Structure 1
Amino acid sequence: MNNSIKALKKILSVNEQILLTSPDGETVPHVCSFKPPATDEEINLLETTTGFKLPEDYRNFLKTCNGCSLFDHHLYGGEAQLHGIQEIIERYHKVDIKNVIQVAWIYQDIIVIDIDKVKAGEKEYLFLKESTIFYQPGRNLFCDFETWLERFISTNGSKYWDWKTEPKRMYYS
């Protein structure tokens, strides 16, 4: 986990921006911002509030940074927020669903940790909930937080979980 964040910070350390290519081919600066690491006391508060022990990879993320904003357009901002502990607690209290915690808001998608999956010892505990239909079952992302974050960073903040592959077409003459 730390390696993905460290690599991103290293890229940003040169001029605090990362150049990304937009769909129209333009190269555009983007920025990332990281909150200071969470303390053990803050992590314990989150676990006490939710009533469950966090997965180790997510704990490591919080110890690296207590939330961050990734790949924001340098002028227009963005919608890739990985929540800090205080925001997670606030969101936990606002919803009636108590078997998930919301850990990120990515372009109107909500990334959640399924508490029941974690308690059962399952490694694939991350789910996607669409903001417009939050109370319906989420879509399994088939990974843990560390894998999701590595993929999100390596795709420069793309919603890779929505990528579709086209079937190969055979053309006959």
Structure 2
Amino acid sequence: MEKMLAKTLNGLKEITSDGDKAFNIVNVGGVFEERVTFNKPATLSELKELNRYHLPSDYYEFLKITNGLSLFEDKYEGITLGGAVCQIYSIKMVLKNKALFDESWVPILYLRDLGTIFINDERFQQHQNYLSYPGIEADKYFKYSFSDWLVHFIGCNGNQFWAL
């Protein structure tokens, strides 16, 4: 699925001119103007900062494309709706936020109105589902890899595909 993630991210880069151009989607309630913000790819030294954790290879591949990503910064009828629907943290933000959580919980992204999603590196090492549900459901785990989850999320225009 790593190839699908790269294709999906490169497609977003193409239709947004690397985040410089907005695009419209039809979503519940009308047509929304969306933006994405890509960061520069992570450097080798930045990636090495994560070596103390056991994280999936597709997550590292994501960071090599963009060291953090702001998805679905939306406007409806010209009104900004409160920041990005999904903020995937840069390595710097992962490490900053990591200090707040138990050793096995690595915070990787924030969903507006829902909360943080974590990679549980202990579960990852044990070949179990490792990507937590957001917020108060963090004791439940998606049956998706990081890249599968992100491709589905983008394909569903930032909607909670797991709740449908």
TM-score under structure 2 normalisation?
A: 0.85
CA distance in 2 between partners of 1:137 and 1:84 (Å): 21
Q: What is the aligned counterpart of 1:29 among 8, 26, 33?
A: 33
Between Structure 1 and Structure 2, whose CA radius of gyration is higher? 1
Structure 1, unaligned stretches of length 5 or more? 164-173
Paired residue for 1:160?
A: 161
**Residues 58-77 of structure 1: pairs in structure 2 closer than 5 A:** 58-74=59-75, 75-76=80-81, 77=83
Shift of 1:52: 2.3
**Residues 42-121 of structure 1: pairs in structure 2 closer than 5 A:** 42-47=46-51, 51-74=52-75, 75-76=80-81, 77-95=83-101, 97-107=102-112, 108-121=114-127
Alpha-carbon displacement from aligned partner over 1:112-133 (angstroms, at most 9, x marks no partner): 11111221234x3211131xx4
Shift of 1:137: 5.1
TM-score under structure 1 normalisation?
A: 0.81
CA distance in 2 between partners of 1:28 and 1:129 (Å): 24
- Percent of aligned positions with the same letter in both sequences? 25
Structure 1: 4+ residue segments shifted above 3 A: none
**Conserved in 1, the CA contact under 8 Å of 2:34 and 2:72?**
yes
One-letter code aligned to 1:20: I
CA distance in 1 between partners of 2:45 and 2:55 (Å): 13
The RMSD of aligned alpha carbons is 1.9
Shift of 1:8: 1.3
Shift of 1:13: 2.3
**Conserved in 2, the CA contact under 8 Å of 1:129 and 1:138?**
no
Shift of 1:58: 0.4
